[in-house]
Amino acid sequence: YVQHYGLTRGTHDGKTAPVTAAHSWNAPQLFSSALMLNAPRHSDHHTHPARPYPGLRLPDNAPMLPWPLPLACLVAMCPPLWRRRMDPLAAKWSIPQA
């Protein structure tokens, strides 16, 4: 939920668009990345599924959570607070990226 919230994939020729780095939230904090087996490098996990977890990278042009991933999970437990912060961020990523 937290790592895909509000990010949508459109359609291309009637088919769901391919997964890109823009379809998953990431978190750049090294401690949470080490603590959660690189789960905060979520976009790389989807765009390079065969890459081992220790080798996952943080994409340059991908959505970033405003908090470390463990904290984001806690904030998500309070939906009004979560939506107030995340809905504007998700809206920015719904605009096609150049």
Joined together, the tokens standing for residue 95 give 């605009």
> What stretches of 1-98 adopt beta strand conformation (E)?
11-12, 15-16
- pLDDT tens digit string along 34-89? 888 888 899 999 999 999 988 999 998 899 999 999 999 999 999 999 999 999 99
The pLDDT assigned to 98 comes to 45
Provide the residue ranges of all domains of the chain, joining segments of one domain with +: 11-94
